[in-house]
Amino acid sequence: MQQVFLDWKRPALPAAAEYLFQCSAAAGMADLSNLVVVVPGGRAGRRLGEILLQNSSQSGKAYFPPTITTVGNLPEMLYQPRLAFASPIVQQLAWARVLRETSKRDLEKLVKEPPVTKDDSRWVELAAMLQRQHRELAGDGFDFSDVLRIGKEMETFDEAERWTILAAIQRRYLDLLDRLQVWDRQTARLRAIEFNECRSDRDIVLLATADLNRVTRQMLDQIGSKVTSLVVAPESMRASFDEHGCLDVEAWQSEWLTLDDDQIVLANNASEQAEAILDSIADFDGRFATNEITIGVPDESIIPHIENTMREAELNPRWGPGSSLEKSRPIRFLRSVVDYLNEQNFENLAELLRNPDVGRWVRGKHDNPNKLLVKLDRFQRDHLPNSANNFTAKLDRHAVPTHAAKLIADLLAPLHGEQRSAAKWANKIVEVLSTLFGSSQVDLEDVAQRTTLAAVDATRDALAALQQLPAELDEPVSASTVILMAVSQTRSLLSSKAAEADSIELLGWLELPLDDAPAKIITSFNEGFVPSSIDSDLFLPNS
What distances in angstroms separate CA 32 from CA 62, 220, 327, one per listed residue?
11, 20, 41
Residue burial 304-328, b: 16+ Cβ < 10 Å; e: rest: ebbbebbeeeebbbbbbbbbbbeeb
CB 317 within 8 A of CB 309: no
* Alpha helix positions (H), 438-478: 447-466
Indicate the angle between helix axes 479-488 and 422-437, nearest 10 degrees: 80
pLDDT at 186: 94
Would you write out the chain's pLDDT as a tens digit for each of its 543 residues? Answer: 899 999 998 999 999 999 998 887 666 788 999 999 999 988 899 999 999 999 988 888 888 999 999 999 999 999 999 899 999 999 999 999 999 999 999 999 999 889 988 878 789 889 989 999 999 999 999 999 999 999 999 988 889 999 999 999 999 999 999 999 999 999 999 999 999 999 999 999 999 999 999 999 999 999 989 999 999 999 999 999 999 999 998 999 888 888 888 899 999 999 999 999 999 999 999 999 999 999 999 998 899 899 999 999 999 999 877 778 888 899 999 999 999 998 888 888 889 988 999 988 888 876 777 777 777 777 767 665 555 454 545 445 566 667 788 889 999 999 998 889 998 999 999 999 999 988 767 666 677 788 888 899 999 999 999 988 998 998 888 999 899 989 988 877 777 777 788 899 999 988 899 999 999 999 999 888 886 655 545 565 544
Question: Within the chain, what is the greatest distance between any pair of CA atoms?
Answer: 89
For the domain 261-322+497-522, what is the CATH code?
3.40.50.300
Helix (H, G, I), strand (E, B) or coil at 246: coil
Q: Is 23 helix (H, G, I), strand (E, B) or coil?
A: helix
Whether 2-78+198-252 shares its CATH topology with 261-322+497-522 is answered yes
Separation CA 348–CA 341 (nearest Å): 9
Specify the 3-state DSSP secondary structure of 529.
strand
DSSP sequence for 190-210: HHHHHTT----SSEEEEES-T
3-state secondary structure of 296: strand
Contacts of 403 (CB under 8 A, 6+ apart): 372
Q: What is the fold of 2-78+198-252? A: Rossmann fold (3.40.50)
Beta bridge partners, 420, equal: 477
Q: What is the CA radius of gyration of the chain?
A: 27
Residue 403, helix vs strand vs coil = helix
Peptide bond into 531 cis (omega under 30): yes
SS3 state of residue 506: strand
pLDDT at residue number 98: 96
3-state secondary structure of 421: coil
Domain borders along the chain are: 2-78+198-252, 88-191, 261-322+497-522, 327-492
Distance between CA 33 and CA 28 in Å, rounded?
15
Residues 352 and 415: beta-carbon distance below 8 Å: no
- Say if residue 21 is exposed, middle or buried (CB neighbours under 10 Å; 0-12, 13-18, 19+): middle
Decide the pairing of beta strands 203-207 and 67-70.
Answer: unpaired
pLDDT at site 196:
96
- Beta-bridged to residue 35, according to DSSP, are 203
Task: Report DSSP letters for 34-90, one per residue.
Answer: TEEEEESSHHHHHHHHHHHHHHHHHHT-EEEPPEEEEGGGSGGGSS--SSPBPPHHH
